[in-house]
Amino acid sequence: MSPETPAPLVKQILTGLRYRYRSLNMVHYEAAWTDSWVCCRCFHDHPTLIDAAKCGMPQPGFYVVAVERGEPRELTADEDKVVDAFRFGRFS
């Protein structure tokens, strides 16, 4: 790979590797929601954003959190776009 390789291509390659080889992935996703002012999570180890979003669909106002090295974190803007596209039917 040359130094001129565009960043999006590298990002696509890494995403593909993380999807295919779980041991490379330090991130999983969980559905989350609020119930009576209590933050709840499904605690399932979803490998993809879409899997976590499907898990959260029965809960009104669900959202998805990333869990990286055991610590929950907010989704990045790109991750959030994927969940929103799925939630609002713009996912292809």
Q: Kindly report, residue by residue over 62-90, the tens digit of the pLDDT.
A: 999 999 888 899 999 989 999 999 988 86
pLDDT at 2 over 80: no
Structural domain count of the chain: 1
Q: Is residue 74 part of a domain?
A: yes
Q: Is residue 61 part of a domain?
A: yes
Q: Is residue 11 part of a domain?
A: no
Q: Is residue 8 part of a domain?
A: no
Q: How far apart are CA 69 and CA 54, in angstroms?
A: 23
Q: Is residue 58 part of a domain?
A: yes
Specify burial of residue 52 (Cβ count, 10 A radius: 0-12, 13-18, 19+): buried
- What's the domain range around 74? 25-87
Q: Is residue 14 part of a domain?
A: no
Q: Is residue 9 part of a domain?
A: no
| pLDDT recorded at residue 38 | 92
Q: How far apart are CA 35 and CA 10, in angstroms?
A: 40
Better pLDDT: 90 or 2: 90
